[in-house]
Amino acid sequence: MKKSSKILIAVVIVIAVLAVIYRAVNRAPSADLTANEQLLQILEDGGCAECHSADPKLPFYANWPIAKSLITKHIVDGYATFDIMPFEEALTNGTAPNEVDLAKVERCLSDGSMPLAQYYLVHWGSSVTGAKEAIALEAVRQLRAQFYPNTLAAAEFANEPIRPIPDSVPFDEKKAALGNILYHDTRLSADGTVSCATCHGLTTGGVDNKRYSEGIKGQLGGVNAPTVYNAVFNFVQFWDGRAATLAEQAGGPPLNPVEMGCSSFDEIVARLSEDKEFVKEFTAVYPEGLSQATITDAIGEFEKTLVTPNSAFDRYLKGDKTAMTADQIEGYALFKEYNCATCHAGVNMGGLTYELMGQRDNYFEDRDLTLKSGLTDGDNGRWAQTGVERDRYRFKTPGLRNVALTYPYYHDGSVKTLSEAINKMARFQVGRKISAADNKKVESFLNALTGEYNGVVLTNTNGNSAEEAAAKTEAAPAAEE
């Protein structure tokens, strides 16, 4: 036998042996395990917690010269984008996992992006085989159906990461009516010039379309005003999450020296108490009378009414195939392909987690280069509340409902148009360059997210897009001197 033939036979034997070993160490979880237990085993086999946790379990070669820097980078990047421990704890305890965590795990399993090739080439049992993928995705489907049942969607969309907005959420009608009055009442500000609606106008998309809102005495805030529409679906309020409820959020601006400037709620109560008719109306609903607790509770009840269902996208998810155009349907597919639907998941398409601004590239460095805008206190994000370094530059993900109307964009209001926002998200959050054609289709999809308020399609008196607003400004006659 020729030497070359012997070598070939030896190679074939080695490959066959390695294949047997690979199959032996990379088995799918036992069918005797529960779906949660199977998913946990797949995540553990994949070594997910070795990068996606605060206390990673390092492999034996972690301190080898070449491996050390690469592993360190993977851990830093992995933990910055996703802490998997709360998800694994939920699986263990049988409690509800975060809806975004579900979407992230589902996406990684579907596209094969995790575990990284550098990892599974060394850890043979870690790669996700077809059998493992099927088991894991079924577990995700069951978890979503159990904890986030998509009862409004058509059967084919029941497992989508995004759910239609319901027509309403439970609220107290009488309290909400009082909250409506207070929401529009400038007596909540020290000089009687600013109300909640000043920065969160109901005819302007729930925002004011300014980079920074203007409070009393012309003072400017440090972050862009988020929309009040659909805020009821957020897991916390404010960009940095400093309010746990709508009522708690309503108590912030009146006492903020830049926004409404009151020294205390006693000051507000004193002013409102002069209105005997309002006091009578208020105490009929709140016998305990005017106080910070009752005022903010009423405003919070009113804000529960600010939901905007029945967008073209909602109707599409409910089974109306004609509700969206072909470009919008393709735009939704691209929205998921570019991983947008992982963080922008749930009913509000966001508002469920804190995410790092600049996961794949340095957003703030680029902003400084283009706008000559250095770091501000508003850029600290969640860190301002926790002091935990991982939370620096991490913000509550904004909901994307009615996003065409809520320009400018991002926590700093630095991005004027949807097209620019899409480009920057692809670059800084996903690490990809999006083509002009794909950008246009994603933007078309985002325009399908405008819903209805009180049965009427939401519009913005400033302009139904940033471009329209700019055109109106240019066309307006110059002010007389």
> What single DSSP character describes residue 156?
G
For 173-303, CATH number?
A: 1.10.760.10
Task: Please report, rounded to a whole number, the percentage of residues in the chain having pLDDT higher than 70.
Answer: 91
Give me the architecture of the 312-473 domain, per CATH. Answer: Orthogonal Bundle (1.10)
Q: Do domains 173-303 and 312-473 have the same CATH topology?
A: yes
Are the beta carbons of 298 and 182 closer than 8 angstroms?
yes
pLDDT at 121: 58
Any idea where the domains of the chain sit in the sequence? 27-149, 173-303, 312-473
Are the beta carbons of 188 and 268 closer than 8 angstroms?
yes
Report pLDDT digits (tens) over 429-456. Answer: 999 999 999 999 999 999 999 999 999 9
Judged against a pLDDT cut of 70, whether residue 80 lies above it is answered with: yes
Average pLDDT over residues 223-231: 99
Query: CA gyration radius for the chain?
Result: 26
* Residue type at 476 in one-letter notation: A
pLDDT at 196: 99
Burial of 15 (0-12, 13-18, 19+ CB in 10 A): exposed
What is the overall mean pLDDT for the chain? 92
Burial of 86 (0-12, 13-18, 19+ CB in 10 A): middle
DSSP 304-318: TT------HHHHHHT
Residues annotated as catalytic (active site), given as ranges:
259
Select from 164, 157, 153 the least CA-distant residue to 318: 153
Question: How far are the Cα atoms of 4, 214, 377, 472 from residue 221, in angstroms, in the given order?
Answer: 76, 7, 11, 25
How confident is residue 76, by pLDDT bands cut at 50, 70 and 90?
Answer: confident
Report pLDDT digits (tens) over 285-296. Answer: 999 999 999 999
pLDDT at 75: 84
